[in-house]
Amino acid sequence: MNRKTDFYVRIAEATDVEEIARVINSAFRSAESFFIEGDRIDLNEVVQSLSAGTFLLADADGHIVGSVYVESRGERAYLGLLSVDPSHQQSGVGSRLMTAAEDYCKGLGCRFMDIKLVNLRKELPSFYQKRGYVETGTSSFPAGVKTTVPCYFIDMAKPLNEARLD
């Protein structure tokens, strides 16, 4: 779609739980249905995530069109669940959410950002490499998640003091 989406980024509140789950499940269903069946996250998992970290939301006139989860872990931060509603993909929402997440974590005093990518998502490494992330290893996919083909995570990280490349 390659159109511009007007939105602002805000911190999620407890009242956003259902919209967060909707955006994540819609985005992941669109991108990962070839190896995972069912929803990526349920309402309880969103609530649990909100107690451990923060969701940043792309809000377009009260409609959530994207989200990203961040969690401070000392000098390192974890970023996950970057999700853009399929009707707003390729419009800059994901890049702006990444920038907001990195800035937010820098503001918390984090010096590095860690991410995990499923190896089957061949389009993702170059997106993150352009943003300054480098591969740091691999890790196992969660044992409780049923997949139709074997997969694992590619671990990547980036120092948060570098200039942005968006």
The model's pTM = 0.91
pLDDT band for position 164 (cuts 50, 70, 90): very low
Question: What would the pLDDT profile of 18-56 be if each residue is shown by its tens digit?
Answer: 999 999 999 999 888 889 888 889 999 999 999 999 999
For position 90, what pLDDT does the model report?
85
The stretch 95-105 carries a mean pLDDT of 96
For position 30, what pLDDT does the model report?
85
State how far the Cα of 125 lies from the Cα of 134, in Å rounded to an integer: 9
In a domain, 93, yes or no: yes
In a domain, 164, yes or no: no
For position 37, what pLDDT does the model report?
83
In a domain, 79, yes or no: yes
Q: Is the pLDDT of residue 103 over 70?
A: yes
Q: Which residue has the tokens 């352009």?
A: 130
In a domain, 2, yes or no: no
Number of domains in the chain: 1
State how far the Cα of 60 lies from the Cα of 80, in Å rounded to an integer: 21
Q: How many residues does the chain have?
A: 166
In a domain, 38, yes or no: yes
In a domain, 19, yes or no: yes
Q: What is the CATH number of the domain that holds 29?
A: 3.40.630.30
Q: Is the pLDDT of residue 5 over 90?
A: no
Question: What would the pLDDT profile of 117-159 be if each residue is shown by its tens digit?
Answer: 999 999 899 999 999 999 999 999 888 788 899 999 999 999 9
Q: Is the pLDDT of residue 165 over 80?
A: no
Question: What would the pLDDT profile of 46-92 be if each residue is shown by its tens digit?
Answer: 999 999 999 999 999 899 999 999 999 999 999 999 999 999 988 89
Range of the domain at 103: 8-159
In a domain, 1, yes or no: no
The stretch 97-124 carries a mean pLDDT of 95
Average pLDDT score, the chain: 91
- From 42, 38, 68, 66, select the one nearest 54 (Cα to Cα): 68
- Kindly report the backbone phi and psi dihedral angles of residue 25, in degrees, each rounded to the nearest multiple of 5, phi listed first: -65, -40
In a domain, 12, yes or no: yes
